[in-house]
Structure 1
Amino acid sequence: MHIDMDAFFASVEQLDDPSLRGRPVIVGGSSERGVVSAASYEARRYGVRSAMPTVTARRLCPHGVFVSGRRHRYAEVSRMVMAVLHDFSPVVEQASVDEAYLDATGLERLFGPVDEMAQRLKGRVREATGGLTCSVGLAPVKFLAKIASDVNKPDGVFILPPEDVAAFLATLPVGRIPGVGKRMLESLDLLGVRTAGDVLRHPVSFWERRFGKGGLVLYDRARGIDPRPLEPWTPPKSESAEVTLAADTADRAVLRRWLLAQAERVGGSLRRQGLAGRTITLKVKYADFRQLTRSRTLPEPVSATQTIFEEAWALLEALDLEAKVRLVGLGVSHFGGERQMSLPIGGMPRRDDTRRERLDATLDRLRARFGAGAVMRGDLVDFGDE
């Protein structure tokens, strides 16, 4: 079973602000240089889509409501949804903040036939979130369940029993198969392959020669085969944040404040998950789109915002900026437990470790209670993070 929240970010905005309901809401596109993170179904009617440049979205939907987005709020609602799914089934694989796979094996004994099961799950999600809808797809394997959840969006259910798989795939546009990217699709089009059924006109050896391992996967999926098991949640390998600046700049004071803002996001996320990492990575993209990264590995894992920022800032200070900067970001990886003590390269503990941890804990509690923007560090007052 695949569960996909409907226009998740935009729907959360409409849920929290009733004045936005029924209006075209576009999330993540407040900056002219940014891209759209999500679009409500009202906005989609005008052709607005995720990953679209903001300037294009504004041209297509000039009367749309553009909001910068609230990552902490989306994560909060996501946790509500995942809690419902974990109560429903013992095996849940969270695929992203707004979608998950669920093992429905044997659940008929608890919740009735699969159609009733799906409706009951949708009702629980709606109740837990205060009104958000999701779409559900049920199928024998993961990739088919994901496709199925998209068939009757929004707020729909589509059930694909095993005996109907072959007929379903025979007419399924080949581009709908997960893993078929733009380049592969162009090659398939040149071969006259329009549907998953068309793939089966050639033997598996043909596809392996054409696309290597990707060809083997394509052939299997055209036959409805997907050996991947559900994989319950595991901690992420890294946590990162980045921002595309409103204007290219080489002003280190401006870059410093943006870097601190990203450290706030990353540090807060790490602490909410009980994670700490040893490697701090800086990411810089120049105005001409050249990109570079620099990393530093610490003796002990950290999650303190100030420590993450200081290490990333030291990496940036060491750079001889070759041009104006378009994007700046940072990441933390090599997680090693929940120890949050901040250590410099030499391994000597900083005197203010305890103070930093207490400050972070206080800020985290206040933000959890009053909202992400309720309290901020002095350097970020009157400074937007989105």
Structure 2
Amino acid sequence: MLLDLDAFFASVEQLDHPAWRGKPVIVGGSADRRGVVSTASYEARAFGVHSAMPAAVARRLCPDAVWTGGHFARYRDMSQKVMAIMRDESPFLQQVSIDEAFLDITPGAYAKESPVDVARRIQQRVDALGVTCSVGLGATKSVAKVASEQNKPHGITVVYPGRERAFLAPLPIARMSGIGPASQKALLRFGISTLGDVAAADEGVLRSVFGKNAQMMRARCAGADTDPVIYESEPAKSVSNEISFAHDLTERTDIEAALATVAAKVGRRLRMNGLEASTVTLKVRLSNLQIRTAQRQLDEPCADEYVFSPILYALLDKVWAPGVPLRLVGMAASRFDGAAAQQPSLFEEEPVAEAAPEDTVQNRQRSRMAQDQVRAGLVQATDIVRNRFGEGAVQFGRELRTKGNLTGTASKNPADYKKPR
């Protein structure tokens, strides 16, 4: 099943502000500061307001709406209560965002009842919290996702096994996850407008639109995908990322660009999950498939790629020699217990023979503090943009340098799909 909370942020606001119930409510940024709509209540949607719409446009469409900047701690608390309800029914939960999650309730050891009965019970318990949800039931994740959007708000849509293709076939291509605006335009040029058309399309056409994902998208549109529910059985012990190259790297500048890219991904995942690591591990795979690793303890736990990157560059010298081809680089961050792994000194520190002038020391300290502030601001700004508009909304030169040499194997780390906790 796929559970999707209905107009979630706006619904929580209406729950907490009884006078707003039945009125158009918009959660988002200020129309006077180029804000964007995060969520609109169904009353506001009747005026044409929708998520990601510029706030200035939303104000013109619905001038009498109640506006609020949002209370995200409250939304996260409510989300956690909903996820706890789902876990009561099955441990196989995959939360994909703050208001959406898959749950495997295939009849068996953990779900002995009909999936329809389980879904109804979950929906009733969510109702009791004061918000509503829509549920899609199907034999695959893509079918459940599409079904959850079929009867919003507060609906349950069941697609029984064997009826997937008939359910999906007449729906417009925009309904399927993975078919964005660019793909829609490309498909329409070939006369492909429904999910059934995609399922029956020529292989060459699909490859020209989806590339390496052609078969996956055909399977989704036919209701035949086999992606499992990816659940968390225990807290993460490490956060990692790695990149495989279509062509081996031999130049240090290219390798360091790839290391900076994996460091940025790991840093972001740590921040999204409220973690700080005390250990950094570098992994490389040579062209002969030999794997080498090197590790370093940090002086203080952190989640900052600008700290990780120079450490990875230094570790590189321990596992790689100039000119040796590399086919993979990776990084793991671990030890989340908050204990800094400091190496005690064997000797008492001796005074420096000639101390630097006090004003020089102060200038250096001020310079370092200013650099730290700029770096922290950059990390925070990129996180905000990516949280709102997606991972591809901001890209650095290091990522572009590496992008053209990837094998196409994408990471499926669940942390990528979670909102910050």
Q: Does 1:225 align with 2:215?
A: no
Note if contact 2:105-2:111 (Cα within 8 Å) is conserved in structure 1.
Answer: no
Q: Does 1:166 align with 2:165?
A: yes
Aligned to 1:74: 75
Q: Does 1:144 align with 2:130?
A: no
Where 1:212 maps in the other structure, the secondary structure is: helix
Where 1:58 maps in the other structure, the secondary structure is: helix
Structure 1 residue 26: deviation in Å? 0.7
Q: How far, CA to CA, are the matches of 2:194 and 2:273 in structure 1?
A: 42
Structure 1 residue 172: deviation in Å? 1.3
Aligned to 2:100: 99
Structure 1 residue 119: deviation in Å? 1.3
Structure 1 residue 94: deviation in Å? 0.5
Q: Does 1:25 align with 2:25?
A: yes
Structure 1 residue 70: deviation in Å? 1.1
Aligned to 1:41: 42
Q: Does 1:113 align with 2:114?
A: yes
Aligned to 2:335: 337
Where 1:78 maps in the other structure, the secondary structure is: helix
Structure 1 residue 214: deviation in Å? 2.9
Aligned to 2:313: none
Note if contact 1:275-1:336 (Cα within 8 Å) is conserved in structure 2.
Answer: no
2:102 alignment partner AA: Y
Structure 1 residue 218: deviation in Å? 2.1
Structure 1 residue 163: deviation in Å? 2.1
Note if contact 2:298-2:340 (Cα within 8 Å) is conserved in structure 1.
Answer: no
Note if contact 1:2-1:102 (Cα within 8 Å) is conserved in structure 2.
Answer: yes
Structure 1 residue 39: deviation in Å? 0.7
Q: Number of residues paired by the alignment?
A: 274
1:189-338 equivalent positions in 2, closer than 5 A: 189-233=188-232, 275-277=275-277, 299-300=298-299, 302=301, 335-338=333-336
Structure 1 residue 338: deviation in Å? 2.8
2:335 alignment partner AA: G
1:140–1:34 Cα change, 3 Å: same
Where 2:163 maps in the other structure, the secondary structure is: helix
Structure 1 residue 14: deviation in Å? 0.8
2:187 alignment partner AA: L
Identity rate, percent: 42
1:147–1:200 Cα change, 3 Å: closer
Q: CA RMSD in A?
A: 3.4
Higher Cα Rg: structure 1 or 2?
A: 2
Q: Does 1:7 align with 2:7?
A: yes
Where 1:163 maps in the other structure, the secondary structure is: coil
1:347–1:45 Cα change, 3 Å: farther
Q: How far, CA to CA, are the matches of 1:111 and 1:25 in structure 2?
A: 40
Q: Does 1:133 align with 2:132?
A: yes
Q: Does 1:56 align with 2:57?
A: yes
Structure 1 residue 210: deviation in Å? 4.1
Structure 1 residue 190: deviation in Å? 1.1
Structure 1 residue 126: deviation in Å? 2.2
Q: How far, CA to CA, are the matches of 2:205 and 2:10 in structure 1?
A: 43
Structure 1 residue 6: deviation in Å? 0.6
What are the superposed Cα offsets for residues 143-181 of structure 1, whole Å, 9 maximum, x if unpaired? 110110111110110000122112112201111111001
Q: How far, CA to CA, are the matches of 1:347 and 1:64 in structure 2?
A: 61
Note if contact 1:303-1:340 (Cα within 8 Å) is conserved in structure 2.
Answer: no
1:11 alignment partner AA: S
Structure 1 residue 201: deviation in Å? 3.9
TM-score relative to the length of structure 2: 0.58
Q: How far, CA to CA, are the matches of 2:336 and 2:199 in structure 1?
A: 50
What are the superposed Cα offsets for residues 206-248 of structure 1, whole Å, 9 maximum, x if unpaired? 422443123222222222122211111475969xxxxxxxxxx
Aligned to 1:90: 91
1:222–1:139 Cα change, 3 Å: same
1:210–1:111 Cα change, 3 Å: closer
1:343–1:107 Cα change, 3 Å: closer
Task: Specify every segment of 5 or more residues in structure 1 that has no aligned partner in the other structure, as ranges.
Answer: 239-265, 280-296, 312-332, 349-386
Note if contact 2:4-2:148 (Cα within 8 Å) is conserved in structure 1.
Answer: yes
1:86–1:200 Cα change, 3 Å: closer
Q: How far, CA to CA, are the matches of 1:109 and 1:3 in structure 2?
A: 18
Structure 1 residue 303: deviation in Å? 6.1
Note if contact 1:174-1:194 (Cα within 8 Å) is conserved in structure 2.
Answer: yes
Task: Specify every segment of 5 or more residues in structure 2 that has no aligned partner in the other structure, as ranges.
Answer: 241-266, 280-295, 308-330, 346-421
Aligned to 2:283: none
Aligned to 1:370: none
Q: How far, CA to CA, are the matches of 1:131 and 1:219 in structure 2?
A: 39
Q: How far, CA to CA, are the matches of 1:161 and 1:174 in structure 2?
A: 21
Structure 1 residue 339: deviation in Å? 3.9
What are the superposed Cα offsets for residues 268-307 of structure 1, whole Å, 9 maximum, x if unpaired? x96x96621479xxxxxxxxxxxxxxxxx99345369xxx
Where 1:37 maps in the other structure, the secondary structure is: strand
Note if contact 2:36-2:53 (Cα within 8 Å) is conserved in structure 1.
Answer: yes
1:166–1:35 Cα change, 3 Å: same
Aligned to 1:252: none
TM-score relative to the length of structure 1: 0.63
